[in-house]
Amino acid sequence: MALKEIMAISGYSGLFKFVSQGRNGIIVESMTDGKRTHIPATAKVSALSDISIFTMEGEKPLREILSSIKQKENGGPTISHKSTNDELKTFFLSIVPDYDSERVYVSDIKKIVTWYNQLQSVNLLDFSEEVEEEIVKEEEAKTEAHKDVEEKTKPAAKKAATQKKTTVTDKKSSSAKAKSATVKNAAPKRKTSTNKKSG
State the fold for domain 52-129.
Answer: Arc Repressor Mutant, subunit A (1.10.10)
What is the pLDDT, as a whole number, of residue 127? 83
What is the pLDDT, as a whole number, of residue 72? 96
Torsion, CA 41, CA 44, CA 48, CA 50, rounded to 10:
90
| Res 10 pLDDT > 80 | yes
- Tell me the HSE value of 90 on the side-chain side, using a 13 A CA sphere: 7
- Mean pLDDT, the chain, as a whole number? 81
| Res 119 pLDDT > 70 | yes
Q: pLDDT: is 195 or 117 the higher one?
A: 117
Residues above pLDDT 90, as percent of the chain: 57
| Res 90 pLDDT > 60 | yes
What is the pLDDT, as a whole number, of residue 198? 46
User: Exposure pattern of 39-61 as b/e (b: 16+ CB <10 Å)?
Assistant: beeeeebeebbebebbeeeeebb
Residue type, 163: Q
What is the pLDDT, as a whole number, of residue 2? 87
- Tell me the HSE value of 123 on the side-chain side, using a 13 A CA sphere: 0
Per-residue pLDDT tens for 63-89?
A: 999 999 999 999 999 999 999 999 999
Q: Sign of dihedral through CA atoms 89, 118, 42, 53?
A: positive
Q: What is the pTM of this model?
A: 0.65
Least Cα distance to 37 among 11, 65, 2, 60 occurs for 11
Which CATH number is 3-47 given? 2.30.30
What is the pLDDT, as a whole number, of residue 144? 76
Same fold, 3-47 and 52-129: no
What is the pLDDT, as a whole number, of residue 101? 94
Residues above pLDDT 70, as percent of the chain: 66
From the CB of residue 38, how many other CB atoms can be counted at a distance below 10 Å? 13
Q: How confident is the model at residue 22 (pLDDT cuts 50, 70, 90)?
A: confident
What is the pLDDT, as a whole number, of residue 23? 83
Long-range contacts of 126-130 (CB under 8 A, 24+ apart): 127/3, 127/63, 127/66, 127/67, 129/2, 130/2, 130/3, 130/4, 130/49, 130/63
Per-residue pLDDT tens for 123-182?
A: 999 887 665 555 555 566 667 766 766 677 666 666 666 666 555 555 555 555 555 555
Contact 65, 56 (CB under 8 A): no
What are residue 26's DSSP bridge partners?
Answer: 21, 39
Rounded CA separation 52/60 (Å): 5
Domain boundaries, the chain: 3-47, 52-129
What are residue 28's DSSP bridge partners?
Answer: 18, 37
Rounded CA separation 136/5 (Å): 19
